[in-house]
Structure formats: structure tokens, C-alpha cells
Chains A and B, each alone.
Chain A
Amino acid sequence: MSLLDIRNLSLSIHGAPILHEVSLTLARGDILGVIGESGSGKSMTAFATMQLLPEGAVPEGEVLLDGVDILSRSEREMCQIRGRDIGMVFQEPMTALNPLKTIGDQVAETVLLHEKVSRGVAQERAAEALTRAELPPEKFPMSRYPHELSGGQRQRVVIAMAIALRPKLLIADEPTTALDVTTQAQILTLLKKLVKEDGMAMMMITHDLAVVADMADHIAIMQKGRVVEEGPTAQIFRQMQHPYSKALLAASTHAPERSDESQEDPLLEVRQVRRTYTLPAKKLFGARRQIEAVKGVSFTLKRGESLGLVGESGCGKSTLTRAILGLEEVQSGEILLDGEPVFTGHKPNDVVRRKMQVVFQDPYGSFNPRHKVARLVAEPFHLTPDVPRAEREDRIAEALTAVGLTPGDAHKYIHEFSGGQRQRIAIARALITRPELILLDEAVSALDVQVRAQILDLLADLSKRYGLSYLFISHDLSVVRTITDRVMVMKSGEIVEEGPTEQVFDTPAHSYTQALVAAAPRLPDDVAA
């Protein structure tokens, strides 16, 4: 008998249908990958399983955990089941932990909630759980606070909390989305190991097919609240039936059509750039510590080229980006755009800066919510005061059309657009001054795969039409691979490897690049796309 049996689960919130007759089964010791884009209902399915539904939600159907119908349990009974029978790992390890409690106390709390044991015993159990999550108390004392740990380590604490009572079912909602590639690989290996050791069942929710490809036993693909395809992983990848699944797979391996248009003359030259930050002194009148974020980086981006800059969080790529954009002055070195320095004296040079623009990662945080699209898109005109007012309107319409929106969208507010549309607006804003270089700072990382594929196509097309050069900054190797001609790998403030994209990914020379490439989740080679 299967451990979790979801039968014809339908759900509506305030009358709006969210799930339609979702049926899933999950056996002990198995991993079920639930895949879908945002709004597909994958997280709601998980929340229904824990009865953690938002206000106004009306579930129908059955959710059987070990033969017990979850939906008919009272809140009091659910409190017993949650944490003891079902553990949960969340996406964001930064917010899933209480910053005011030590990690030992947080894990012990789960034990104390469900079992009548003394504080000492609970601490012992917590130590055991942390050890199993590969955070042994000998190396990471339980008296540490979450802020003293890295993102990956915090996620291990969250996992320790979830498995402390050896639950029958573990639900992991995008457990590695917020983590770097190498950390992601470690966390995935850990989860797989724990499932095997405990004979636990795991429901793994993700938007990334590649993540579940080599760990899930079964895969369910969801679209708009329905399970459109379900089956054993190998079978799913080899004989995909449903058009949506096929589209999803095609989008995750999508490579936009593009040709190397790079010319020989340099557009952006970065020479021996150094940027150090002074940290506040720990004691009054104590010595101030210095952190070197960028340690003498040099590179050249050629006109028409698409150059990738890959590195994990904290490697200095954001600092470098800000320096190139002229937002922060560097201590030494030069940044030249089209032969002219971005900084003259201590002021950023606006004549140079108008030749480059930027697109940020977060489509929700990149716009002032109180302005209309026309005003948002027109913001960079500040750099080009010579563009007459009459022409601006036409340019706004042109930019919106270029990114696949309509000129009429200029009069809407930003909250009327989806994430993908917002990213198009961000690109329109970058195009408005007709720049030569666009910095794409994780510009597609927050998007669903299909939307991401569309945006990548758009970028490739725009580069061809306007002769744009891109500096593509990302931690996501697969994206960088499809859209760049050349790639640089950055680690601890230095560029450790540089070369043509194919060459760097196929035959990485530096040990760090090798580790990055090896850690990247991959779809099976024999997929029938």
C-alpha cells in the first residue's frame, strides 16, 4: 500500500478553482518529483497534504496518509501530524529559521512539541538530527545562531528540523532554488541519502526538470491545477506524451538561435580593477577590517559579443557589475566603455553611461510600484536630456513593441503585468537610450522555464537587430551556456578561467570550473524532446 494517496483532490480559494482532481500516489522510500511552473498548483498540493491552506480554501477529495484521511482531521489533530508524520523543507533558508534562537534549540523544539521528553533528551535528539543532516555538533556547535551559517548550512538545519522525528513523509518545496549550484548538489545528495536511510517518502516540488531527473523515482507534471502527466522518471523522459510536458522539456533545453557577431574592436575594457570594502570596527577605536571583493580583474568585451560571467554568491560578480555601471568607484584600475572611462575624477560620466543599461533579476522589485509603465521605461532618458519630449513618446512605443508588448501598455501600472512581462518591460527600459551594452544581472533566473526561453529568444533577436553586446552575469550555467559566445568564471574576486563557452563547459581547465560543471543538475542524455 502506498504511503501517501491523494485522490481526486480539488481545491478552490474564495470560489476560484486552484486544483482540479489531482491524484498522486507515493510509496515508502520513493521520491516523487512534482514539477510545474508558477501557478500550476504544485505548492498548493503540498500545502493541502499538510492542511496548511490559506483562508477561504475549500478542499474536496481525499488525502490519505498511511490510510488516515488528512482532510477530515481537526487543526488540533493536524498539529500532531505535522512535524511528526510529515516534515517540510522550505525554499528560503533565510526566512525559515528564527533568527533569535540557536540552531540546537530550533531542532530540539520540534522534538519537545511532539514527545514528552526532557530538554536534555531533546537536545540529544537534535544533535543526532543535525549530524544526520551533515552538520555535526562537533564542527558546528548547537549554540550557533542562523546568521552565523551559510545558506547551504541553514538549509541543513531546516532539513534537520524536518527529519528530527523521522517522519514518514518529507515534503521539500523548491529546497535548492535559493542555493548555489555546488551547494544545491550537496543538498540534493543529502536528501537522497536521508530518504534511503529512513525509508521515508519524499515529495519534491520544483520548477526545474533537471533537478529531479536523477533523483526522483516518479514524476508528476502539473499545469493549471491539473496533473497532465505522471509516471516513472525514466519513462517520462523517454516517452513524454502530453504536449505541455514536451513544451516544458523543450523550454528547459532551449537554446536561442544566434550567431557570433563579435567584432575585433573592444567595447568594454576592464583593467586591473580592485574594490575593497572597509568593514566597521568591531571595537570602538579598533582596527577596521578590509574585505577585498574584487582583486584585480581584467577582461575585454568585444563589440557585438555576448560574454558570460559565472560565479557563486559572494564571488564578487555583483560588486564588479556595480563598478562597471558606475554606481561605485573602484580603488584602482580602469573601466573603459568605448575607449572612455566610466568614472572621470570622482564622478560617473553620464555621456559614457548612456551607452550601457542593465536588467536586474527580480521582476517584482525592479519597478517603482507607483509609476506607470511609460514613466518607468522613460527613466533612462535622464542620461540623454537631448532627446526632445516629442520624440520620447515614440521611443517608448518603439521599445515596448521591440520587446513584444504593445504601445498601449505604457499607460498601465506595473502590477498589471506577469513576471515575464515585467522582465520585458525591464528590457524595454534598458533599450530606451539605444545603448550598445546591456548588463544582464541574473536577468532570467527568477522566471519560469517557458518564459525564460522566450526572454532568451528575445535577447538573441534584439542583439541581432540592434547590434547589442551583452554581459550576462549569472550563477546558472545552463542559461549562460545557451546565450554566450565567451564565458568567464569568477571565484573569490578573481577570474579563474576564461574562454569560448563550449570549450569552458566541455573541457574545464580550472578545478573550480570542473566542480561547477559537475555540480550542475543535468537532464538525462537520451531524452526524447
Chain B
Amino acid sequence: MFKLIIGLMAFSVCNLHAIEVTHIVSPGGNFLTTSTARSCSTFSVDRDSVSCNPALYALSQAQGLQLSIVGKAEGSSIDTGKKLIFEPITESLIKDLFQKNSYNSFSFNSSISFFTPYFKLSYSPYFALADILIFNPAFPEISLALTNRSTLSLTSGFSLNPLFNSKSIDLNFGYTLNFYQQTISQSRFSLFDLSSTKPDQLIKFTDKKGITPDLGTLLELKDLYSLKISAQIKNIATKYKINEERAASAYYLEHKYIFETYSQLGIGKNFQTQYGGVNFNIEGFFESYYKSFDFSRTTVGLRYDLGLFALLSSISKNYRTFGMHFLSQNFDVGLTYISEKNIGRYQQNFDNGAYLGVDFNL
């Protein structure tokens, strides 16, 4: 019996799948979604929370122009990621990385959004993710996942209350139509390959273009403590598919809950007190169309706001965040401190860092 258990354990270790990499920065995301690790789909409505759930657009009255950036601003791996994205990949860079951490990552999103009473038009010229894992010290190997995506998005929403004619529920629906162009590289090679092969032959990029909608709903049960329930499906019918062949192979980095089709379910409650507002939300993530529930990505999100100041926090198995958001009429700044494990159990320790978000509102 003991041998059988040992045998099963050995099999489970040998039968490794691609390493799933998650990030709290997402396409279409902003500082709010990043600080709450995307657990904000039932938060009270404002200009920022529309990025959490398109159904919130039905309740939004935001108008005007917004320029927004959010990205990793501090952490042991930030320089690495920036070099991987913005500089040519050379042998010396890879060897330099090898001297540092075994896992490094970088994430960044930028957008310009135009809010009208009927729709939100948004263009994101850069959504960049860079992940690099160096493993097998005896015979060093490198696994890379690099992505840069530009997206044009149209978001709108409307109330479905006239269909029900009930005062006890408030049901809203929203959608985002994304037109995207994406450059991706998922590579794995030995450190010794660099001496015989040029990096641009080892790290090959492929381009993808497509149209993919996101759908979202928000239900408020007014008779049941005004509890809010949200359901979202992201990247419907996207061309981005997880490569099955590579997924079965160990040590390939595969981005998860970012580009492929996935679903979210959120439950939350908002409180307005004389001393500020409190928003509470639990968000669950599912693969594909609500197929497989992923407990490790389940996240609790919190927001406390008073006037032009907000505290944001989230906690899940792999992410712990604490952020502060400072707003003014035309200029917002947010800082979030984070402990993260983007590759989950493959990362021994939490990587501590900070994310910075800046918005200009016109």
C-alpha cells in the first residue's frame, strides 16, 4: 500500500502540466481591478468600477475622457520584465537573468477611454505581460511567456428591470466588444542553446487578431439584504486557445484567466455609512463557460471610500493586496502593495512588490 502511494505521488510529480501563470493586471483593467485582484464586480458604481463588470455601465453616469496607466512599479523582478518587453533579448540579458531570481514577471496596462451616456469607447495601445522561469540548475533551462496586446473596446449596458416589473430585484446587463491584436511568444530552451543559436531564433513571436465579446450581468436582491450577484463570461469564442500539446508538457508557461475564455461569479454587498462607504465582494473563477471552478483563484475584495480617498484590499491563495487610491477632479494616483505568487505552487515564496496607477480625467 505504501509503495502504491509513493508510486502515485511519483506519477503526479512526473505528469506535470504547463505552469499556469495568473496576473492581477488584466486587459481592460485599471487600478481598481488590479488592487482588488479583479474581485470588484459588485462594487458600487463609479467611473472605475465599470472595468470590473460591464453591467455596471447600465448604472453609470460617467462622462468625459480618461487616460489611465497601471503597472508594476516595485519588486525584485520589475527591471527584468521591462527589459524583456522593451529591449532586444540578448544572450547577456538572459545570462544576467539567470543570476537573479528563478522567476521574474512584469505587467503593464495603458488605455484612453471616452465615456458617453450610451457607451464607453476605449483604446489600449499596450497591455504587456512578461514572465520568465529558469529551472533545472544542473542543466539550466528557460521558459518564457511574453505578450503585448492592443485592444479597441466598446462597452455598454442597460437595465433589464422593465422585463420583470418587480421592485424587489434590480437586474442589469452589459457587454464589451473587443477588437484585439496580439503578439505572443511561449518558448523553452536551454541556457547552452544561447551559445549556438541566436535569441531571436529561440524566441519566436506569433501574431493574433480577433474580435471577442465579454458579457456581464448584475442582480441586486433588494429584499435579501440588497445582496448583489454578478456573472461574467470573458473572451467569448476567442481565437486564443491553450496549446494542448504544450499544456501537457512541463515547464511551459501558460497565461490563465487573461486571454482564453473564462467565467466569473461574484457575490457582494455595499454599505453606505455616515463615515464612508464599504464594498465587499467574493469572486470565483471558472474555466471556459462555467465548467471547472478554480478555488485557488477565488478572491475576496474590499473597498472603503471616504470623499476622495479609498482603501482597497484583496486576499486569495496566491495574492494579498493592500492599496490606497487618491482622487481629485482631474488627476488620480493609486498605490498598491502586494504579495503575489503568479505561478502558484511552483513559486516557493511570495514575491513582494507594488503597483502604481495614474489616471488623468478630462
Same complex origin of A and B = no
Mark A residues whose CB is within 8 Å of B.
none
Mark B residues whose CB is within 8 Å of A.
none
